[in-house]
Amino acid sequence: MIRSGGAYDGKQGMSLATGVSSRSAGAQALCLHLVTIPPGTRGVPHVHEGHESAIYTVSGETEVWHGEGLMQRTVVRAGDFMYVPPGIPHLPVNRSDVMTVAVVARTDPQEQESVIPLSLPPHLADLDEIPVASQ
């Protein structure tokens, strides 16, 4: 049993509630976290090398830039699922006035070891004006 309560700021620029991982539960093939993105903030563009992610949005609405060069944009709302294949760059942005809460599962039990932060591509330079959720 892992009780929620602890949280940490991830390399992806968001707060993650401590969940299931190799550290917390001895997991060998997955991690599961609760991620929060405050209104008017964003994450850091990143990729999880060699690991896939599944995201379920509990509340809020997030604009997710994803794919090669972060050229694709998908709006994810409460009740939506999103799959991110291994090695695919992605960047969540919460332009709303509501906290986004999402459950994230990834095939990386080490939590942060596969996270590779990326730079914002030129076509998303205006996102520099939106603060990163956690730094």
How many separate domains does the chain show? 1
Residue 121 lies in a domain: yes
Q: What percent of the chain has pLDDT over 90?
A: 58
* Averaged pLDDT score across all residues of the chain: 89
Q: pTM for this structure?
A: 0.88
Chain segment 28-42, per-residue pLDDT in tens: 888 898 899 999 999
Residue 113 lies in a domain: yes
Q: Which domain holds residue 72?
A: 15-128
Asked if residue 9 lies in contact with residue 33, where contact means CB atoms within 8 angstroms, the answer is no
For position 46, which CATH number holds?
Answer: 2.60.120.10
pLDDT at 89 over 70: yes
Residue 2 lies in a domain: no
The CA distance from 127 to 73, in Å, is: 13
Q: What percent of the chain has pLDDT over 70?
A: 92
pLDDT (mean) for 88-114: 88
The 3-state secondary structure of the chain, one letter per residue: CCCCCCEEECCCCCEEEEEECHHHHCCCCCEEEEEEECCCEECCCEEECCCCEEEEEEECEEEEEECHHHCEEEEEECCCEEEECCCCCEEEEECCCCCEEEEEEECCCCCCCCEEECCCCHHHHHHHHCCECCC
The pLDDT value given to residue 131? 94
Residue 8 lies in a domain: no
Chain segment 41-79, per-residue pLDDT in tens: 999 999 988 889 999 999 999 999 999 999 999 999 999
